[in-house]
Amino acid sequence: TSATNISCEPGREQLARVHMKYWSQTFIPTLKESPADAEIASHKLLLRAGLVRKLGGGLYTYMPAGLRVVQKISQLCREEMDREGAIELAMPFIHPVENWVDGPRWSAAREIMYRVDHAGAGKGRAKEPEYVLGPTHEEVITPLVKTEITSYRDLPKNFYQIGTKFRNEIRPRYGLMRAREFIMKDAYSFDVNDEAAIVSYNKMKRAYTAFFTRCGLKTIAVEADTGVMGGSFSHEFMVPAPVGDDDIVYCDASGYSANREKATSGIVPKDLADAAAAGVLEEFATPGIVTIAALAGAPYSVAPDQQFKTLVYMGDGKPFLVVLRGCDELEEAKLGALGFQLWRAATPEEIEPVMGAKPGSLGTVRGTIKNPGALAGIFADHAIRLVGNGTTGANQDGFHLRNVNVARDLELTKFGDFRRVREGEPDPKSGQPLKIARAIEVGHVFKLGTKYSEKFGAVYTDDQKQSHPMVMGCYGIGISRTLQAVVEQSNDADGIIWPWQVAPWQVLVVNLDPADAAATELCLKLAQAAESAGADVLIDDRAERPGVKFKDADLIGLPLRLTVGGRGLKEGIFEFKWRASKEVRKVAIAEAEGTIMAAVKEAARQA
């Protein structure tokens, strides 16, 4: 640009030196109404504030302002990972299917994976597809580490990346919350032993806590399901919200909190002795009675907590039984502790040949199961000890057995915790009633152990030349889900209220008279003051009515709004307003720089 050009356009000269954006030169397509298919507040606001646009179910474009938030959240995540010694790399999104077939969870994971058919697939090749789109990266990082790291001297290592994941979710919904394609930070730690792995685990827990705090997001770390692993080295970072897909169980008195999938309560006393037999085992006819509720009704009147409920499941193709109290529900995730890769409820066709009866008349009294040899096990929930003597199906359609004593009569492989905890049950530690709330999972830390390292042969040699599998951990943060969780947690009737550190821009300078040179000049001055104090600034220079500008300002929710123009400008003042507050301050232009710089520095300090 020539010098004449600059001189005839006020403000252009300064523009060349600063990074602030003009609304007219970026693209923020705000909407007055929210599209009909957006159900929850955050999804509506992401669309209305012009942050994302939908391509298809679970597929979204990050619009310019949305992309800025993604980048800011990613950067905060990167800083906290780096601070704890994790090392960034980037792995391919497309994986050869062999990596998954050779791994420990192919049968469980294949349903969620998008498969990419190779051009030559089918021509005399194996039936399996050649490539899959990565839903996560254990199957890539473990073989990599196996070839690259062989000595204890090179451990510990924790590798992470921030990138796109692909999952064929059964029910993609709520915008970025459960998408088919989403951005995740995933990390994988490798250690010489359990003790060292726990150190790595705790570092990640600390990084996550710091990260979510910097995002302005209130999270609770809850104990999570570990499948067969057991122990408490799995925590999910949860954002309490009625629209969440998870339930968290917690007790304020003891500080206990766990995902419902893993939660236990203290309803069964630890020292509970088996009840003495109440009487002689007795069969009775129950024609047409196939539910707990029906047996509880007249003329039988057997209370649900005096009944045994027998469920048939298939675990990796083999049937197994779960016995609960009639009043209890199975928590399906708890079946993970049994070691099956895949499990599901059995169909009536699968049940009858094994049990000898249809659902509704099933039981586990010794000698009544038609084909016990077919079973992979009979697993009883601890709480059936509270029944002591009860009623169960006779494995003969239309018949039940009463005076069934747990210790004397039931055929059981082992006891475990399989029931779903209910609100109000006593916390195991404090005895106080447990509470349950909905929550959104934004992050997960997990001590994996040696499941992957053994399968892929990721071993190291110690100082005695002995070889051991590396002890691994994996750690995920949903970057795009976090973005939406922030909006879900921080909004009001008018729009988003961005926390300082993740706002697409932190300061919005609203020019009410963009045609007026004095207004435009003052806007630049305010923007420069904010920017020199470290803020990202957006100037609303659009030729829109003030009402439109204020509505949009509230909707896109930048933390600090400075308004220039109209009568105020003639009086030598501008307006200063935090998005989170209703208060509008009038500030003298003479005090602009000092006021703005102090405010920006204070906001950054608090964030």
Rounded alpha-carbon distances, angstroms, from residue 239 to 185, 235, 482, 554: 17, 13, 9, 24
Angle between helices 194-214 and 64-83 in degrees, nearest 10: 140
310 touches ligand ATP by CB under 6 A: no
d(CA 402, CA 566): 86
Judged by CB under 6 A, the residue of 478, 499, 557, 559 near ligand ATP is 478
# residues contacting ligand ATP (CB under 6 A): 16
Q: Decide whether 59 or 285 has the Cβ nearer to ligand ATP.
A: 59
d(CA 186, CA 139): 13
Check: CB of residue 187 under 8 Å from CB of residue 88: no
Check: CB of residue 364 under 8 Å from CB of residue 321: yes
481 touches ligand ATP by CB under 6 A: yes
Taking the complex as a whole, how short is the minimal distance between the CB of residue 239 and ligand ATP, in angstroms?
A: 10
Q: Binding pattern to ligand ATP, positions 183-212, x when CB under 6 A? A: -x----------------------------
574 touches ligand ATP by CB under 6 A: no
Taking the complex as a whole, how short is the minimal distance between the CB of residue 83 and ligand ATP, in angstroms?
A: 20
Structure tokens, 497:
């209220």
H helices within 380-491, ranges in order? 384-387, 406-409, 451-456, 479-489
Check: CB of residue 567 under 8 Å from CB of residue 558: no
Q: Decide whether 68 or 444 has the Cβ nearer to ligand ATP.
A: 444
Q: Decide whether 7 or 232 has the Cβ nearer to ligand ATP.
A: 232
Q: Which DSSP symbol is given to 400? A: E
Q: Decide whether 172 or 363 has the Cβ nearer to ligand ATP.
A: 172
Q: Decide whether 404 or 442 has the Cβ nearer to ligand ATP.
A: 442
Taking the complex as a whole, how short is the minimal distance between the CB of residue 333 and ligand ATP, in angstroms?
A: 10
Check: CB of residue 370 under 8 Å from CB of residue 395: yes
Q: Which range touches ligand ATP (CB under 6 A), out of 17-25, 210-218, 371-379, 436-444?
A: 436-444
For residue 596, the SS3 value is helix
Judged by CB under 6 A, the residue of 13, 98, 128, 169 near ligand ATP is 169
Judged by CB under 6 A, the residue of 60, 152, 182, 343 near ligand ATP is 182
Judged by CB under 6 A, the residue of 41, 109, 133, 179 near ligand ATP is 179
Judged by CB under 6 A, the residue of 42, 74, 99, 136 near ligand ATP is 136
133 touches ligand ATP by CB under 6 A: no
Judged by CB under 6 A, the residue of 43, 167, 385, 419 near ligand ATP is 167
Tokens 């994302």 belong to which residue?
A: 52
Taking the complex as a whole, how short is the minimal distance between the CB of residue 453 and ligand ATP, in angstroms?
A: 19
Which residues partner with 577 through β-bridges?
561
Check: CB of residue 505 under 8 Å from CB of residue 558: yes
For residue 147, the SS3 value is helix
d(CA 157, CA 147): 14
Taking the complex as a whole, how short is the minimal distance between the CB of residue 444 and ligand ATP, in angstroms?
A: 4
Q: Which range touches ligand ATP (CB under 6 A), out of 43-51, 201-209, 313-321, 472-480?
A: 472-480
Q: Which range touches ligand ATP (CB under 6 A), out of 80-88, 441-449, 513-521, 581-589?
A: 441-449
Check: CB of residue 296 under 8 Å from CB of residue 351: no
For residue 46, the SS3 value is helix
139 touches ligand ATP by CB under 6 A: no
Taking the complex as a whole, how short is the minimal distance between the CB of residue 427 and ligand ATP, in angstroms?
A: 24
Q: Which range touches ligand ATP (CB under 6 A), out of 284-292, 448-456, 462-470, 473-481?
A: 473-481
For residue 334, the SS3 value is helix
H/E element, 66:
helix 64-83
Nearest 5°: phi and psi at 437? -140, 150
Judged by CB under 6 A, the residue of 156, 443, 504, 557 near ligand ATP is 443
Check: CB of residue 11 under 8 Å from CB of residue 17: no
390 touches ligand ATP by CB under 6 A: no
Check: CB of residue 47 under 8 Å from CB of residue 487: no
Strand bridging mode 308-315 / 246-250: unpaired
Q: Which range touches ligand ATP (CB under 6 A), out of 210-218, 417-425, 448-456, 475-483?
A: 475-483
Taking the complex as a whole, how short is the minimal distance between the CB of residue 485 and ligand ATP, in angstroms?
A: 8
d(CA 588, CA 567): 13
441 touches ligand ATP by CB under 6 A: yes
Q: Which DSSP symbol is given to 277? A: P
103 touches ligand ATP by CB under 6 A: no
Q: Decide whether 121 or 221 has the Cβ nearer to ligand ATP.
A: 221
Q: Which range touches ligand ATP (CB under 6 A), out of 250-258, 310-318, 385-393, 438-446?
A: 438-446
Taking the complex as a whole, how short is the minimal distance between the CB of residue 425 and ligand ATP, in angstroms?
A: 24
Taking the complex as a whole, how short is the minimal distance between the CB of residue 171 and ligand ATP, in angstroms?
A: 10
Judged by CB under 6 A, the residue of 354, 355, 442, 569 near ligand ATP is 442
Q: Could you tell me which of 487, 489, 519, 525 has the C-alpha nearest to residue 503?
A: 487
238 touches ligand ATP by CB under 6 A: no
Judged by CB under 6 A, the residue of 21, 68, 95, 178 near ligand ATP is 178
Structure tokens, 157:
């290592």
Which residues partner with 445 through β-bridges?
235, 475
Q: Decide whether 77 or 351 has the Cβ nearer to ligand ATP.
A: 77
Q: Could you tell me which of 322, 311, 372 has the C-alpha nearest to residue 346?
A: 311
Q: Decide whether 175 or 360 has the Cβ nearer to ligand ATP.
A: 175
Instruction: Collect all residues with Cβ–Cβ distance below 8 Å to 216 and sequence separation of at least 6.
Output: 486, 490, 498, 499, 500, 501, 502, 607
Q: Which range touches ligand ATP (CB under 6 A), out of 81-89, 179-187, 394-402, 450-458?
A: 179-187
Q: Which range touches ligand ATP (CB under 6 A), out of 406-414, 439-447, 548-556, 563-571?
A: 439-447
Q: Could you tell me which of 64, 25, 29 has the C-alpha nearest to residue 49?
A: 29
Q: Could you tell me which of 88, 215, 230 has the C-alpha nearest to residue 487?
A: 215
Q: Which range touches ligand ATP (CB under 6 A), out of 48-56, 125-133, 437-445, 555-563?
A: 437-445
Q: Could you tell me which of 45, 31, 65, 73 has the C-alpha nearest to residue 505?
A: 65
Q: Decide whether 205 or 444 has the Cβ nearer to ligand ATP.
A: 444
Tokens 């989170």 belong to which residue?
A: 580
What residues make contact with ligand ATP under the rule CB under 6 A?
136, 167, 169, 178-179, 182, 184, 245, 441-444, 476, 478, 480-481
